[in-house]
Amino acid sequence: MGFVLYEQKDGYAVVTINRPEALNALNSEVLDELGSVFQGIDLETVRAVILTGAGQKSFVAGADIGEMSTLTVEEGEAFGKRGNDVFRMIETFPVPVIAAVNGFALGGGNELAMSCDIRICSENAVFGQPEVGLGITPGFGGTQRLARIINPGKAKELIYTAANVKAPEALAIGLVNAVYPIDELLPAAEKMAAKIARNAPIAVRACKKAINDGLQVDMDEAIQIEERLFGSCFTTEDQIEGMKAFLEKRKVEGFKNK
């Protein structure tokens, strides 16, 4: 797995896109490796995932322009699907995924970050959807997710103008949750992942599913999704221990993911 590095820590994992010579641009091999790495994650032990890019300059500078430059209509659609399948797997991955955006997140890079649950970034981060300047549309979910994450009017402005957004503006428009000096980014992501990992894993997963699935339907249906997932937590060992610990005025011994 040369283009995607995987490190498992205590309760969480760090996935690093490792193609620094091309600013971590996504070619077919990177996309395939990224998919394989996520598929291989052991959900018994991993309760949150951090996704970042190698180096201090770029998270992901987009899909590989060289590879895309000669695609036919059919190949373009297939390449879009290849990326979309991996990004959708990340978006619906059972445990939370935190994007630690360490520099450029352009085109497919911004789209990858938007497939994650939470985005935090370094002070040198730059976001944007430059595709219309290359004669294409965003093709890895950008036209859909940007308008859902920030307001649709701002999303349209950014996509139509292909304007880049620096970290402070990304924070102001709600594209990221927080901005850190580059050396503090990964520690901040790890602190957040560890905090998530200390909570009841079945409940955290159910929260992710409830939020994601609920956002796709109307409120009546969304509330029913929540009711079902809420109910599913009961009689788990972690629910019994979590509530018992509260009633006995002690700390939880450690959730078991059962």
Question: Shortest distance, CB of residue 159 to ligand CO8, whole angstroms?
Answer: 12
- Rounded to 5 degrees, what are φ and ψ at 177? -90, -30
Nearest-approach distance from CB 128 to ligand CO8, in angstroms: 8
User: In the complex with ligand CO8, which residue's Cβ is closer, 48 or 86?
Assistant: 86
174: contact with ligand CO8 by CB under 6 A: no
How many residues interact with ligand CO8 (rule CB under 6 A)? 24
Which residue do the tokens 């993911």 mark?
257
Spatial separation of the C-alpha atoms in residues 164 and 124, rounded to whole Å: 12
* The one segment of 44-52, 138-146, 169-177, 190-198 that binds ligand CO8 by CB under 6 A: 138-146
Which position among 63, 155, 175, 202 is part of the footprint of ligand CO8 (CB under 6 A)? 63
Chain residues 32-61 in contact with ligand CO8, contact rule CB under 6 A: 61
Strand (E) or helix (H) holding 12: strand 12-17
Distance CA 36, CA 46 (A): 16
**Pairing mode, strands 126-128 and 165-166:** antiparallel
Residue 139 interacts with ligand CO8 (CB under 6 A): yes or no: yes
Interatomic CA distance for residues 187 and 180, integer angstroms:
10
Among 65, 173, 194, 203, binds ligand CO8 (CB under 6 A): 65
Angle between helices 237-247 and 201-214 (to 10 degrees): 110
The answer to whether 131 is a known catalytic residue is yes
Q: Verify binding: residue 101, ligand CO8, rule CB under 6 A.
A: no
Tokens of 150: 């920030």
Examine residue 31 and tell whether it contacts ligand CO8 (CB under 6 A). no
Shortest CB 47 distance to ligand CO8, Å: 30
CA distance 53 to 101: 7
Is 80 near ligand CO8 (CB under 6 A)? yes
Q: Measured in Å, how far apart are the chain's first and last C-alpha atoms?
A: 31
Both tokens assigned to 155? 């999303």
Q: With respect to ligand CO8, which residue has the nearer C-beta, 11 or 138?
A: 138
Decide if residue 104 touches ligand CO8 (CB under 6 A): yes
Q: Which residue numbers are catalytic? A: 111, 131
